Amino acid sequence: MKKILIIEDDKKIRRLLELELEHEGYLVESYEEGEKAIEKFKNSFFDVILLDLMLPNLSGEEICKIIRKISEIPIIVITAKDSIISKVELLDMGADDYITKPFNIEELCARIRVVLRNKKNYNTKDILRYGNLSLNTSLKVLKRNDEEISLTKTEYKLLEIFFLNKEIGLSREKIIEEVWGFDFDGDNKIVDVFINSLRKKIDLENEKYISSMRGFGYIFKLKN
């Protein structure tokens, strides 16, 4: 089940979005303040962010830039602004799409489905980089600087999930769902086995990438 983070300070709009999106089958969490939403985002997993621009304290533009520094999660901006210049600026600052107020809930749901489909194909021709590692998602090749590191198919899938969610905590359950699928009925300790295998291949004494989160899962965050 896909999970959506809503950042919207208008209580009525926020509640409408919660009800409608839950009715559509999404898991929803919502916040009226950007600081709290960012903190939650850093410690949880979401599939899409719905972001209002006109927020107290921290603006939607600032939130979008902060999120883009740590994640490529799809961001749909909800804005009352309707000038061509502001829409271009929204896309330039990292938003994937926008919808203007007042909006039709069916159109919003359609836009959510589109960014989710695009997320599956994210960076199919690009190279994901983090620290001294680069992951070519077309060739499915991992390199440290210019040296190739051999990966099994499962190790690659696991590492790609980490690259796409770098510096975001992922639960064992979420990792299993993304790598092995919803119908996996084995022991979740299989995650620990493959994490240990990856660590042996990508970690150096002064360059470690995968950290355990006690009682939760793992985070892909570089430690020197």
Q: 162: burial class by Cβ within 10 Å (0-12, 13-18, 19+)?
A: buried
Average pLDDT over residues 147-170: 92
**Given phi > 0 = left and psi -120 to 50 = alpha, else beta, which region is 80?**
alpha
Top CATH class, 3-120:
alpha beta
The average confidence (pLDDT) of the chain is 87
Give start-end residues of each CATH 3.40.50.2300 domain in the chain. Answer: 3-120
Mean predicted confidence (pLDDT) in 5-14: 94
Count of residues in the chain: 224
Average of per-residue pLDDT across 176-202: 89
Integer Cα distance of 171 and 207 in angstroms? 23
**CATH no. for 127-223:** 1.10.10.10
At 166 the pLDDT is 86
pLDDT digits (tens, 9 = 90+) for 18-29: 999 999 999 999
